[in-house]
Amino acid sequence: MTGPVGFVGLGTIGKPMAQRLLAWPGGLVVYDVAPEPPAELERAGAKVAGSVTELVGQVGLVGVMVRNDQQVRQVLAEMLPAAQPGLIVAIHSTVAPDTPAELAAVAAEHGIRVIDAPVSGGGMGAADGSLAILVGGDEETFAAAEGPLRLMGRRVVHAGPIGAGTRFKLARNLLHFVAFAAAGEAARLAEAAGLDLIALGKVVRHTDAITGGPGAVLIRDTTAPVAADYPFRGSLEHAWTLGEKDLGFAVELADRLGVDVPLARRALRELGPALGFPSEGQA
């Protein structure tokens, strides 16, 4: 596509995403219920629409980054009567797993194509164009939307058919927020041990930047047991051995200090299977 693109929802992540689209040669049209974000983008060169209905009549693709599932549904409902057939709607909000397919079916009755394209990387990634954008939709629609998407994201993944982008995002965020909960356990343990929590945070961020954090073990294309001839079996086995040892010591320290660490206890049981090894036979 070569014509104008649109963007609805100019919040913490949506506004910097839209700012990246100012570089789109066909032009940018924006809308938000709050007046100041569109005004800021207008000063930078965007055109401001007075409503969602007004916006979709001017663009070939529109990104939607609103707060929740309900707002996404509301925005699409406002678009349908005014949109020209062939419009592509990219849903960047994280919605329920079945929502993209449901909305795509409704939109198709009006000749409108929907892709789900949730993002990972937060406001910082949106500001510098380094987001990961996880796209669900057919090949043709993905190809048509790819140019604008690549202005906003450094890693644009076509995850599969409609809904696959959302499922991809939910899997990614499961790891993200379970890790947050584990960080709470680590903080409670460190605090009970009399340690500096600010220093702990700095060390975690420093070493995760070196090792890649939890994502470093996501290197296989299956969750089946690790094959004997798998090239990185030794590395995974080393992580298992080291992890069980250190988790065991951490749980022992937590017991001594009276700190509840249920996630650590579960990780101690499940680390081996998570890495592709049996749950027994390793201490």
Is 169 an active-site residue?
yes
Give the contacts of 192 (CB within 8 A, at least 6 positions apart): 254, 257, 258, 259
Catalytic residue among 15, 47, 169, 202: 169
Cα–Cα–Cα angle for 25, 31, 34, rounded to 5 degrees: 140
pLDDT digits (tens, 9 = 90+) for 213-248: 999 999 999 999 999 999 999 999 999 999 999 999
Task: Provide the 10 A C-beta neighbour count for residue 3.
Answer: 12
* Tokens encoding 101: 């397919």
- Domain 168-275 sits in CATH at 1.10.1040.10
Helices 233-257 + 164-192 axis angle, to 10: 40
Record: fold of 5-162: Rossmann fold (3.40.50)
Q: Is the pLDDT of residue 282 over 70?
A: no
Average pLDDT over residues 51-59: 96
The rounded mean pLDDT for the chain is 96
Please, which pLDDT band fits residue 2 given cuts at 50, 70 and 90?
confident
- What residues contact residue 235 under an 8 Å CB cut-off, 6+ apart? none
Write out the H or E segment, with its range, that includes residue 155.
strand 153-160
Pairing mode of beta strands 28-31, 119-120: unpaired
pLDDT tops 50 at residue 159: yes
Q: In the chain, what are the domain boundaries?
A: 5-162, 168-275
Residue 279: predicted pLDDT: 66
Task: Say yes or no to pLDDT of 184 above 90.
Answer: yes
Mean pLDDT of 138-154: 98
